[in-house]
Amino acid sequence: MIDNIQGLLLDLDGTLFHGGIMIPGADKLISGLRSKRIPFLFVTNNSSRTPANVAAHLSAMGIEAHEQEVCTSSLAAARYIAEESPGAAVAILGEEGLHRACEEEGLQIVTDSPQYVVQGIDRSFTYDSLTRAARWITGGAAFVLTNPDLMLPSDDGMMPGAGTLGAAIEAASGVKPVIIGKPHRHLMNYATSRLGIDPKDAIVVGDNMRTDIAAGVNAGCRTVLTLTGVTTKDNLEQYKEWTGVSPDFICNNLAELRNLLGV
Ligand SMILES: [Mg+2]
């Protein structure tokens, strides 16, 4: 068992569910954490959904979840900007989750002369929005990207994520964004600050070596890899080589994870 767990940062897709289907034991894991009073947050790179949407998605699968337990890359991006420049003028290329997060952090949402361009997944992205973003950034606005995911699974195949749009803006402006989501450290450090704990006392749990485990290592947290999604026994060594990181613990399934956590 792992000692001194002050908080758990849990990945969602591939760790607790696949699309709309719960991974066996995810409901018992969450109820066990609640009954043992181990603090946790659901931590997702998804920037389009609001915390309430994410909690509703989990609850619909039978995993008890509340919106205040959800950390998204949009919340962390808005907090990052608000801490650097309270009330800053921000142009948003993104969806509801990012708009709401910026409003709630007291940022001033503008459509001209922004101090920051913050960009997430944006399924209404156009040539015109690319042009405006590139001009603002070239003109001196800071560029913040919620998450670097290039492609995402959807019901009818893979689709471009926030990172692909960010790459277009980077190419057009010549400016690299500050990246908030996994594998960068900002999202995890936002989550540990919300729990009020030191990163070294937090455990990051996820199925993806490139995003979850790398983010945990970058943020100074301990890490648990679950072989419930992207990483398998067969590709684990290859991922270790590609990423240069290793998880502190590996669980084959969520029953093993519950044993490891003692819940
Ligand atoms: Mg995952």
Provide DSSP, the chain: ------EEEE--BTTTEETTEEPTTHHHHHHHHHHTT--EEEEE---SS-HHHHHHHHHHTT----GGGEEEHHHHHHHHHHHHSTT-EEEEES-HHHHHHHHHTT-EE-SSS-SEEEE---TT--HHHHHHHHHHHHTT-EEEES----EEEETTEEEE-HHHHHHHHHHHH--PPEE-STTSSHHHHHHHHHHT--GGGEEEEES-IIIIIHHHHHHT-EEEEETTSS--TTTHHHHHHHH----SEEESSHHHHHHHHT-
Q: What distance in angstroms lies between residue 161's CA and the mean position of ligand 1's atoms?
A: 15
Instruction: Write the pLDDT tens digit of every residue in 109-153.
Output: 999 999 999 999 999 999 999 999 999 999 999 999 999 999 998
At 154, is the pLDDT very low, low, confident or very high (cuts 50, 70, 90)?
confident
pLDDT value, residue 98 = 98
pLDDT value, residue 3 = 80
Q: State what percent of residues in the chain have pLDDT above 70.
A: 100
- Average model confidence (pLDDT) across the chain: 97
Our answer to whether residue 13 is catalytic in this structure is: yes
pLDDT value, residue 146 = 98
At 4, is the pLDDT very low, low, confident or very high (cuts 50, 70, 90)?
confident
Q: What distance in angstroms lies between residue 11's CA and the mean position of ligand 1's atoms?
A: 5
pLDDT value, residue 153 = 84
Q: Catalytic residue among 13, 122, 149, 212, which?
A: 13
Domains and CATH numbers, the chain: 7-45+183-261 (3.40.50.1000), 78-179 (3.40.50.1000)
pLDDT value, residue 2 = 86
pLDDT value, residue 263 = 94
Q: State what percent of residues in the chain have pLDDT above 90.
A: 96
Contact 98, 107 (CB under 8 A): no
Q: What is the largest CA-CA distance in the chain?
A: 54
At 1, is the pLDDT very low, low, confident or very high (cuts 50, 70, 90)?
confident
Q: What distance in angstroms lies between residue 57's CA and the mean position of ligand 1's atoms?
A: 15
Q: What distance in angstroms lies between residue 93's CA and the mean position of ligand 1's atoms?
A: 24
Q: What distance in angstroms lies between residue 205's CA and the mean position of ligand 1's atoms?
A: 9
Our answer to whether residue 11 is catalytic in this structure is: yes
Instruction: Write the pLDDT tens digit of every residue in 66-122.
Output: 999 999 999 999 999 999 999 999 999 999 999 999 999 999 999 999 999 999 999
Instruction: Write the pLDDT tens digit of every residue in 7-24.
Output: 999 999 999 999 889 999
End-to-end CA distance of the chain: 10
